[in-house]
């Protein structure tokens, strides 16, 4: 009798476990899950005012990468909205085309070099760029500081020193930057 009950129990468990649903392997259904794309703030100009423009970037807390985006200039869509820049473009042998909003390209490697020492950043401009006007200098300072703060939040100000190859220098901090 015990054997019959055990057999009946095993049979019903087997029937329940194979209820007609076929087994499958991994089912491909699109790309991997993703969250919010990494964003950094790049400071451009509208009229006489600095404006923070969010940009997708692989490494949002890299000040050098953010400055390369700044030096590529506003996208054509941003330019139609009156956004400009006072920062000269990257010095290359051919003109850098204006990027579009959905372009994802690697800017020229001949871009500003950034060194970080705590909350002080030193930006060495590419050869041939120096003696920038106040607005262009503020664009560089605010863009570099914003990227730096993404990776290293700070209670104090972030100081940015900008230097050109002719000996020109300027210093500022994120305290003078508009909040996005």
Tens digit of pLDDT for each residue in 26-59? 555 555 556 677 899 999 999 999 999 999 999 9
Query: Residues 94-98: what's their mean pLDDT?
Result: 40
Q: Determine the pLDDT at residue 98.
A: 45
Query: How many of the other CB atoms lie within 10 Å of CB of 122?
Result: 18
Q: Which residues span the domain enclosing 164? A: 39-92+107-176
What total number of domains does the chain contain? 1
Domain assignment present for residue 28? The answer is no
Domain assignment present for residue 24? The answer is no
Domain assignment present for residue 138? The answer is yes
Domain assignment present for residue 133? The answer is yes
Residue 82 CA to residue 78 CA, distance in Å, equals 7
Are the C-beta atoms of residues 76 and 93 closer than 8 Å to each other? no
Confidence category of residue 129, pLDDT binned at 50, 70, 90? confident
Domain assignment present for residue 29? The answer is no
Choose from 41-55, 101-115, 121-135 the range with maximum mean pLDDT. 41-55
**DSSP H helical ranges for 73-116:** 76-80
Dihedral sign, Cα of residue 145, residue 174, residue 92, residue 166: negative
Residue 62 CA to residue 68 CA, distance in Å, equals 10
Q: Determine the pLDDT at residue 76.
A: 93
Q: What is the pTM of this model?
A: 0.71
Residue 75 CA to residue 97 CA, distance in Å, equals 10
Domain assignment present for residue 9? The answer is no
Q: Determine the pLDDT at residue 128.
A: 82
Domain assignment present for residue 160? The answer is yes
Query: Residues 169-175: what's their mean pLDDT?
Result: 96
Q: How far is CA 76 from the centre of its chain?
A: 19
Q: For 71-87, what is each residue's pLDDT tens digit?
A: 999 999 999 999 999 99
Residue 87 CA to residue 146 CA, distance in Å, equals 17
Domain assignment present for residue 2? The answer is no
């Amino acid at each position: 009798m015990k054997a019959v009950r055990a057999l009946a129990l095993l049979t019903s468990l087997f029937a329940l476990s194979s209820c007609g649903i076929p087994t499958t392997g991994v089912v491909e259904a699109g790309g991997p899950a993703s969250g919010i794309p990494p964003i950094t703030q790049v400071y451009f100009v509208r009229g006489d005012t600095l404006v923070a423009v969010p940009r997708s970037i692989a490494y949002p807390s890299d000040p050098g990468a953010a400055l390369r985006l700044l030096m590529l200039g506003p996208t054509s869509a941003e330019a139609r909205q009156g956004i400009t820049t006072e920062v000269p473009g990257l010095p290359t042998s051919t003109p850098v085309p204006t990027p579009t909003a959905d372009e994802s390209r690697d800017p020229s490697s001949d871009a500003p070099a950034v060194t970080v020492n705590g909350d002080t950043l030193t930006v060495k401009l590419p050869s041939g760029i120096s003696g920038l006007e106040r607005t262009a200098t503020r664009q560089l300072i605010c863009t570099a500081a914003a990227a730096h703060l993404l990776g290293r939040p700070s209670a104090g100000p972030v100081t940015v020193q900008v230097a050109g190859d002719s000996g020109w220098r300027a210093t500022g901090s994120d305290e003078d930057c508009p909040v996005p």
